[in-house]
Structure 1
């Protein structure tokens, strides 16, 4: 099959959506399909480029800026039209949220193809930035038009589907396909150094944004003297978090490591005792880092966000500990509990087994393949008629 993905970004740019897009593309390319991804350059890189990574053709469109997490690429519709004409895809796979996907609505060639929409997250009404909430009023009609045009919609958890107002009209098109990751490949790099390696080694990974709840984690850590933390990632909250570390007197127990390479990130997982995901709202739709930690046999502590997939990844008290989002006292109690090595080992083993049984890349990709084949078969039948 010939499959064209429309995404925001692609490796080496990091993020849960980018990680899954890359994994899917490489899995399908490795199984004999022709795969192309049309994505954006990093904000401020105006020149478009084309390259091949692990048999996947990556077309990166120049990006002027990315205000409110939305890349602005004036040539995206032209690049999309040229690529469809040249590549002749059989499936158009759109990864939302991403306003550049809306250009497919205006393309005659794109509208002639079956569309699968991969719904990674709602644009949350709970986001603290009023500009995002206001912009969504303009975004929503186009979002709904894409969903109306889609032949199939992939949602990463039943809980997220049940809670999504944006998907409410389109439930009959939706299929739940949990995210999955493969075995870790390649050599590990160099792990960051925990400031106090004699203490419980906690790891937190993600964009330094408000919804990730890292400020709550730092408050909880101040009440948990048995633990130290390495925080991996960068983002708009970086300076505030550094100031909070200083204000709480945590400089001897917290290291902010910034972005790491894939190899160094694997080494960080291998060196840690537990992963903490303290996110605050449904902007955290699934938590791919949970799977990475389960694969590495780490104990998990995470927020039990209503309407998020986190509670379906972790079985509370069996494969991890779930706490109410934003509750610093509950989080501190959970962090103290996992200082018990017996509990930590039990959670880690159960989590690793759960990843193998439910959240591998093979399982996720095979489910997507089944949807592709169904759509392609329907397309051939329609053409014969």
Structure 2
């Protein structure tokens, strides 16, 4: 079976959706599928690139369509439909797997060759959230939503990453009959292979070392986390990521008197990120909006047997991944005192941290390893092809 994936970007370009796409492609190869992926280049330019990557799992065809720039967070790529047409002709997929949101995927609607192939949509998140401005909401209502609905009507199956997100997504209400929940998965071997052979010995007795990983943007709730850390003197926080809110968050940390207790590390490679997971006592995900649809960083921390503190965001998969008192603690979004209390609780109970981490690691292997995810995706492929036959 040949599967063509359409996505937004691909590693080393940053993002949870990108990491998942990479891991799913390799799991597909291990499952005996032939795969190709069409994504966008990260930097603007005029030339697209195409390569065949020879990996231990098999050969992967990767095409990055050139972009002219970005508008409303969307890559502008006149090259995308041209590369799509080429791949449909040369690769001849049996299924097209579309990772949404990705507006360039709407070019499928204008392709006679694509309409002859079954489509599977992977619903990573709704296209807009509660804080979208008037302009963005207008574009969504009059342009994006009609095209999205047209694409979903032609899709044979829609993979959703968690039950809460399926139930809360307005865009999916009329398509529930073709939706199936397959939780995201992670190939922990990639990150663990880069990990140091021994834990760093730079911790201070009595302290709790917190880690936050993600884009420095409004919905990640990092301002909430900084204020919570300021109220817990024994807490130290390291933040991995880049983004438009970086300068504002650094100023806030200074205003809160957190110099020496908070470190902004920027973007890290796999080896440096693995070291941070090994060195931390707990991962914190303080996001406040449904834009945080799942939280792949939670799975990364679980694979390292680290406990979690996360916001229980209504309608998000985050509160579904984190089970209170089992693999972590859940906190109401934006509640600084509750965040401080959760940090204090873990700071004062080493046995609890160890128990939550161990249970989380076991749960990761059982439910969230990428090969388990691939089995669910493979079942969807087989059902789609049976109906199409």
Task: Give the structure 1 partner of residue 2 of structure 2.
Answer: 2
Task: Give the structure 2 partner of residue 269 of structure 1.
Answer: 277
User: Could you list the runs of 5+ residues in structure 2 that have no partner in the other structure?
Assistant: none
Of residues 122, 128, 143 in structure 2, which corresponds to 1:124?
128
Alignment of 1:109 onto 2:113: yes
Task: Give the structure 2 partner of residue 183 of structure 1.
Answer: 188
Asked if structure 2 preserves the Cα contact closer than 8 Å seen for 1:192 and 1:268, the reply is no
Task: Give the structure 2 partner of residue 363 of structure 1.
Answer: 372
Of residues 38, 61, 64 in structure 2, which corresponds to 1:60?
64
Any residues of structure 2 matched to 1:319-330 within 5 Å, and which? 319-330=327-338
Note the alpha carbon deviations across 1:358-381, whole angstroms, 9 max, x for none.
Answer: 1111111011011111222333x2
Task: Give the structure 2 partner of residue 139 of structure 1.
Answer: 144
Asked if structure 1 preserves the Cα contact closer than 8 Å seen for 2:185 and 2:371, the reply is yes
Q: Once the 2 structures are TM-superposed, how far is the Cα of residue 321 of structure 1 from its aligned partner?
A: 0.2
Distance (Å, rounded) in 2 between the aligned partners of 1:194 and 1:102 = 51
Of residues 95, 101, 108 in structure 2, which corresponds to 1:97?
101
Cα distance change, pair 197–254 in 1 and its aligned pair in 2 (3 A): farther
Any residues of structure 2 matched to 1:185-200 within 5 Å, and which? 185=190, 186-188=193-195, 197-198=204-205, 199-200=207-208
Distance (Å, rounded) in 1 between the aligned partners of 2:108 and 2:121 = 12
Task: Give the structure 1 partner of residue 47 of structure 2.
Answer: 47
Task: Give the structure 2 partner of residue 203 of structure 1.
Answer: 211
Give the TM-score normalised by structure 2: 0.94
Aligned-pair Cα RMSD in Å: 1.9
Of residues 169, 176, 179 in structure 2, which corresponds to 1:171?
176
Cα distance change, pair 190–76 in 1 and its aligned pair in 2 (3 A): farther
Distance (Å, rounded) in 1 between the aligned partners of 2:330 and 2:118 = 39
Task: Give the structure 2 partner of residue 13 of structure 1.
Answer: 13
Distance (Å, rounded) in 1 between the aligned partners of 2:238 and 2:297 = 14
Aligned residues: 380
Asked if structure 2 preserves the Cα contact closer than 8 Å seen for 1:197 and 1:228, the reply is no
Asked if structure 2 preserves the Cα contact closer than 8 Å seen for 1:191 and 1:265, the reply is no
User: Could you list the runs of 5+ residues in structure 1 that have no partner in the other structure?
Assistant: none
Asked if structure 1 preserves the Cα contact closer than 8 Å seen for 2:200 and 2:279, the reply is no
Alignment of 1:342 onto 2:346: no
Note the alpha carbon deviations across 1:23-57, whole angstroms, 9 max, x for none.
Answer: 11111123332110000001323321112333211
Which aligned runs of 4 or more in structure 1 are off by greater than 4 angstroms?
189-198
